Amino acid sequence: MFNRSLKRHAEPKDSVRFPRRHLAIAASTLIALGVSLLMLPGENAEAKRTAIPLNLDLTPRAAIESPAEETYAFTEPEQEWLEMEVRPGDSLSSIFSRAKLTPQDLHELISTAKKTKALNTIRPGQKLGFQVDDNGKLSAMSLQIDKLNSLVYERGVTGFTTTEVSETPEVRQRVASATITSSLYKAAQDAGVNQSIIMELANIFGGVLDFVYDVRKNDYFIVIYEELYLNGEHLGSGQILAAQYFNQGDSFEAYRYINKEGDVDYFSERGESMRKAFLRAPLDFTRISSRFDPKRLHPVFKTVRPHRGIDYAASRGTPVYAAGDGRVQEAGYSKANGNYVFIKHGEAYVTKYLHLHKRAVSKGERVRQRETIGWVGSTGYATGPHLHYEFLMNGVHRNPATIVDKLPPPTKVSQAAMPDFLSQISGLQLQLRTYAAQRNYGSEG
């Protein structure tokens, strides 16, 4: 981080970030000019000619010659940043003493600078930079907030001033594709797509595909997404812009669309929202280990008991999500259900989640789709850690795996916004088509 900061000082655009230094340079340039002006009113040409060399003896050359101004800041030894990293157990005062700065420096900084809250929450690995003046006093300090953001505190006449320094990452588009051999997760890994993109992909298609039960061998996907870079360093992945999933002869497309109001959502090529009223599975597909056998003999009753839901086997502690927006109808414990949560969605629907290790919500609470309501466990009558999930419509149990398709259609891009939508997605759509054609994707479908 601060290696970059150091490098940045040589770049002209950074003059904005370090206004004080440049004021100082400007001032010394003015003084130098002043000195030479004082020299100039000589009585003959001889004096004029000598005026400048004489002046150069008094003032550093770099301060006069403006093209060298930027390198002045860079080569000036006092301006180097002393870089420090926060260690476990560090406090700001321990870091200050390691940097050979006094408690008074710290006090002056804290008591005069704005935005010092970030200094109270330093964490191991975070980077700080210090600049010290000729007397060993703190003249500037920088604090890395994250890879893109820092705060710079600089000593002024009346105390420290605070500047927020932000870097804008370079965004590069990447297209990746993979064929499923064992799992979506594995396929995406093979394609060099990181986990956050896989999860996002599963979230986007979560309303039309059940990544536990629907995904089959030889399915494939194409995803166009952003990769973020800063000075050549890869920072991580950005947003998915478009994706296409080929599932056993069906193809699903999703496009990121920002409407005139600035709302962002994913839509099919027909402008239907990918977000459904209910998730197909109320937990992360990557955490589900297998289908839990509902026909097993009950360990307590030694009989096959009627089963009115889906069981998802997952390790203890796996987060369980609210399948849709709603309000917690019941949250409690019973001998059979263990820790359970029931959620009411509008007038007609109720979803139930049983055998939770712990509950994260209480009765009456509002919940949003994909909000964690508890964690997978084996409380109550359960042979092992799993989530028992039920879906009721008007009080009648429905198959959670198929009910989602029978619910009202998703919201659409408005008729008025359709031209804007189509123009936003056309380039991406062409990219997907071209990519699929090059690889013969979908042609056998």
Q: Which residues bind Zn ion (CB under 5 A)?
A: 311, 388
**Residue closest to Zn ion when measured from CB atoms:** 388
3-state secondary structure of 253: strand
3-state secondary structure of 251: strand
**Smallest distance from Zn ion to CB 215, Å:** 22
As a whole number of angstroms, the distance between CA 141 and CA 196 comes to: 34
**Smallest distance from Zn ion to CB 418, Å:** 44
Contact 361, 321 (CB under 8 A): no
* Closer CB to Zn ion, 270 or 298, in the complex: 298
**Smallest distance from Zn ion to CB 376, Å:** 12
Strands (E), 208-285: 220-230, 233-247, 250-258, 264-267
As a whole number of angstroms, the distance between CA 426 and CA 430 comes to: 6
Number of other residues whose CB lies within 10 A of the CB of residue 49: 11
Contact 384, 378 (CB under 8 A): yes
**Smallest distance from Zn ion to CB 148, Å:** 46
**Smallest distance from Zn ion to CB 180, Å:** 27
Separation of CA 28 from chain center: 44
**CB within 8 Å of 98: residues ≥ 6 apart:** 84
**Smallest distance from Zn ion to CB 294, Å:** 6
Number of other residues whose CB lies within 10 A of the CB of residue 410: 15
Least Cα distance to 330 among 392, 279, 285, 381 occurs for 392
* Closer CB to Zn ion, 178 or 343, in the complex: 343
**Smallest distance from Zn ion to CB 343, Å:** 17
